[in-house]
Structure 1
Amino acid sequence: MNLKSLAVFEVKLDPVLDLGDSHWGSRRVINIVGGTFEGPRLSGEILPGGADWQVLHPDGMASIDTRSTLRTHDGALLYLSTSGVRHGPPEVLRRLAAGEAVDPAEYYFRLFCRFETGDERYRWLNRTLAVASGARTTEAVRYEAYSLG
C-alpha cells in the first residue's frame, strides 16, 4: 500500500453552533461557507452549504463528520464526506477552542475521505479511499489528502 498526494483542502467555516450536551456528547455544527482544493489530479472550489456535524466527547476528543459539495476546475460536481478524530492534551485543545494559532504537531487530527460523483472524468474517485492530516485555524480547516494505492 502507498500514499499518493490527492489535494490540499482549505475549508472556510462559519462560527461554531453549539447545540449542547446530548447522550452522544456535546453536539456542534460548523457550517462550511466555501474554500478551495488543489492537487495533481484534483482542483477547484468547495461550495457553501456543507457542514461538520461534530461531537465533543468528555475526554476532549472531537468526532468529525463532514459533508460538502465540490466543483472541480473543469465544472464537475463531487460529493465529499469525511470522518475522523481530533484530540490532544487539554491545554492544546483549550488554545484551539480559544482561536489561538496552534502548531498541528501538538495535536492529532486525521480524516478518512470518501468521494462520490456521476461525472465520467472523475469516476475514479468513487473507487478511491483517501486519508488526510488536518489542522484547525480560527476560520478554516486545512487538510492534506492522500489516496490509498
Structure 2
Amino acid sequence: MRLEPLASFHVKLSPILDLGDSHWGRRRIIDIAGGSFEGPRLSGDILPGGADWQVLHADGMASIDTRYTLRTHDGAHLYISTSGVRHGPPEVLARLAAGEVVDPSAYYFRLFCRFETGDERYLWLNRTLAVASGARTADAVRYDAYALT
C-alpha cells in the first residue's frame, strides 16, 4: 500500500452555526461557501452548499462529518464526504477557535475521504479511498488528500 498525492483542497467556510450541547457533544454546522482543489489527476472548484456537521466533545476533540460537491476543471460533478478528527492541547485549540494562525503541526487533524460520481472519466474515484492531513484557518480548511493505492 502506498499514498499517492490526489489533490490539495481549500474549502471556504461560512460562520459557525452553534446548535448547543446535546448528548453527543456540542453540535455545530459549518456551511461550505466554495473553494478549489488542485492535484495531478483532479482539479476544479468546490461548489457552495453542503456543510460540516461537526461535534465538539468535552475533551476538545472535534468529530468532522462533511458532505459537499466538487466540479472538476472539465465539468464533471463529484460528491465528496469526509470524516475525521481534530484535537490538540487546549491552548492550541483555543487559538484555533479565536481564528489565530496556528502551525498545523501543533494539533492533529486527519480525514478519511470518499468520492462518488457517475461521470465515466472519474469512475476510478468511486473505488478509491483517500486520507488527508488538514489545517484550520479562521474562514477555511486546507487539506492535502492522498489516494491509498
* TM-score (norm: length of structure 1): 1.00
Identity of aligned residues (%): 82
3-state SS, counterpart of residue 82 of structure 2: strand
1:77-92 correspondence to structure 2 within 5 Å: 77-92=77-92
1:20 is aligned to 2:20: yes
CA distance in 1, matches of 2:61, 2:16: 16
Cα drift, residue 72 of structure 1: 0.2
Mapping of residues 64-75 of structure 1, within 5 Å: 64-75=64-75
How many pairs were matched up?
149
The residue type paired with residue 12 of structure 2 is K
Deviation at 1:35, TM superposition (A): 0.2
Distance 2:22 2:39 in 1: 38
Name the TM-score, length of structure 2 as normaliser.
Answer: 1.00
Once superposed, what is the RMSD of the aligned Cα atoms? Answer: 0.2
* Structure 1 unpaired stretches of 5+: none
**How far did 1:126 drift?**
0.1
Q: Deviations over 1:58-83 (max 9, x none)?
A: 00000000000000000000000000
* 1:50 shift after superposition: 1.0
Superposed CA deviations along residues 95-144 of structure 1, whole A, max 9, x for unmatched, are 00000000000000000000000000000000000000000000100000
Q: CA deviation at 1:3?
A: 0.3
CA distance in structure 1 between the aligned counterparts of 2:81 and 2:62, rounded to whole angstroms: 16
Aligned equivalents of 2:115, 2:107: Cα separation in 1: 26
Q: How far apart are residue 34 of structure 1 and its match? A: 0.1
Q: Give matches, 1:54-133, under 5 Å.
A: 54-133=54-133
Cα displacement (A) at 1:20: 0.1
**Runs of at least 5 residues in structure 2 that lack an aligned partner in the other structure:** none
User: What stretches of structure 1 move > 4 A for 4+ residues in a row?
Assistant: none
